Structure 1
Amino acid sequence: MQTIRTLTLIVATLTSGLLAGVYYAYATSVMPALNQADPRAAVDVMQRINAVIVNPMFMLTFLGAPLVTVGAVALLLGKDSRAVLVWVAVAAGLNVVATIVTFSLNIPLNDQLDAVGDPNLLTDPAAVWQDFSSWTNWNIVRAVLHTAAFGASTWALVLLGRTTD
């Protein structure tokens, strides 16, 4: 059973780290580059990104981070490793909050951007891009949350390793 707990926590840590990295990359490169592009091109590229990011690999990571981290909490309940449980619970909470941010803020903004239709037909693409711009702030929030979850679950792994030595 200890092996299952450890493997679950490893997967939770990896998925948290992968999401932190994706959102960090958006914050530090993708969105700044799109903000420097022609607004019509930025709308077009972001619409394309919204379409291709919904793929099995990303969805496994996106849904896996909160689900597997919560699963790791469940596997640790009632065990002697209270310190490990606390850090995994923190990681789970951070992952869940980041997922809520995505569903309640980022995805609706993506849907709003997709709803404008063909960027070549927009009369004011700059206004459309400006309306979408708060997406970046919420992306940074979820990057910070998943990074903190990655750190918390990494520390939980360290503590778990100490309890099994």
Structure 2
Amino acid sequence: MFALRIAALVLATLSTGLIAGLFYGYANSVMLALGRSDDRTLVDVMQKINVVIINPWFMIAFMGTVGFTVLAALLHLGKDVRTTLIWIVIALVVNVIAFAVTAGMNVPLNDQLAAAGDPSQIVDLAAVRAQFESSWVRWNIVRALVHTLAFLVLIGALFVAGMQHGRSEAAGEPATGTLVAASGN
């Protein structure tokens, strides 16, 4: 059971770290570069990014920030791993907040940008950009920071899980819910 618990916790940590890093990358490179470009380039590139990012690799990681963390929490419901569960639940709450920022703020801005239409046909690109860019950048920074916090909490959960497992083994307690055979050394 320990291996399954740790595997779920590693998946939660990995997906959260990947998404935190992706949004960090946007904040520190993509949006800075687009901020230096003309209106048409920003609108055109962001419209294209918002289409291609919806792919299986992104969706597994993005949905995994909550899904894998829920799985890790469910696998840590036992009394013997309660301390780890507390860390996981905190990370879950933080990941749900970050997920809500994306769903409630960034996605509607992406949809608004898509609804503006083909950049070559938009009459006032500056207005479309103004309605999108500063808000999207601000909320991207928020979600990057919040996902990073969840990532750090999940790293803490991994540390605590390892400590709990080590203490259980040192005390000779069955750490996985099965009987531990005594070795004859």
Using structure 1 for the length normalisation, give the TM-score.
Answer: 0.97
1:79 deviates by 2.8
- 1:21-49 alpha-carbon deviations (Å, 9 max, x no partner): 00000011111111110011100000000
1:82 deviates by 2.4
Match of 2:159 in 1: 158
Where in structure 2 are the equivalents of 1:68-147 lying within 5 Å?
Answer: 68-133=68-133, 134-147=135-148
1:92 deviates by 0.8
SS in 1 for 2:80: coil
Match of 1:19 in 2: 19
The structure 1 segments of at least 4 consecutive aligned residues displaced by more than 2 Å after TM superposition are none
- Distance in 2 (CA, whole Å) between partners of 1:61 and 1:116 is 29
- Distance in 1 (CA, whole Å) between partners of 2:87 and 2:71 is 13
- Distance in 2 (CA, whole Å) between partners of 1:30 and 1:160 is 36
Q: Specify the structure having the higher radius of gyration (Cα).
A: 2
Q: How many residues in Structure 1 have an aligned counterpart in Structure 2?
A: 165
1 or 2 for the larger relative contact order (CA 8 Å, sep ≥6)? Answer: 1
1:74 deviates by 1.3
Structure 2: unaligned runs, 5 residues or longer: 167-185
SS in 1 for 2:54: coil
- Distance in 2 (CA, whole Å) between partners of 1:33 and 1:126 is 17
1:73 deviates by 1.0
1:75 deviates by 1.1
**Quick one: which amino acid aligns to residue 72 of structure 2?**
A
Q: Over aligned residue pairs, what C-alpha RMSD do you find?
A: 0.9
Match of 1:43 in 2: 43
- Distance in 1 (CA, whole Å) between partners of 2:36 and 2:83 is 46
Identity over aligned residues, as a percent? 50
1:126 deviates by 1.1
Structure 1: unaligned runs, 5 residues or longer: none
SS in 2 for 1:81: helix
- By percentage of residues, which structure has more helix? 1
- Distance in 2 (CA, whole Å) between partners of 1:162 and 1:132 is 46
- Distance in 2 (CA, whole Å) between partners of 1:128 and 1:35 is 14
- Distance in 2 (CA, whole Å) between partners of 1:154 and 1:147 is 11
